[in-house]
Amino acid sequence: MTSAKLRLVDSSRPVWIYTPKPASALDQWLSMAGIDEVIVYGGVLDTLVDSLHDRMSRKISAASRNVYNFRRPTAI
């Protein structure tokens, strides 16, 4: 339900879920729940923080490469 409500606010944002251990039926549940990615961190919060930092850095880097630099034409 939470992922559906988040999608109503902004459908373009990814929804991630984190868990210390992967569940056996996780993949089937995720396809129905609308979750984009599962982060399994093994119960160590430093690992979770590092994983989130890496993912956010990659997203920011990819977004900055996709920004176009438009210039106005020079009048002659």
Q: Tell me the C-alpha distance between 56 and 41, whole Å.
A: 16
pTM equals 0.62
Kindly report, residue by residue over 7-50, the tens digit of the pLDDT. Answer: 888 878 888 888 888 777 666 666 677 788 888 899 999 999 99
Nearest to 53 by CA among 18, 11, 9, 10: 18
53 pLDDT band, cuts 50/70/90, is very high
Sequence-ordered list of residues with C-beta below 8 angstroms from that of 26, at least 6 positions apart, any chain: 19, 38
**34 phi and psi angles, rounded to 5 deg:** 80, 25
Helix (H, G, I), strand (E, B) or coil at 57: helix
76 pLDDT band, cuts 50/70/90, is very low
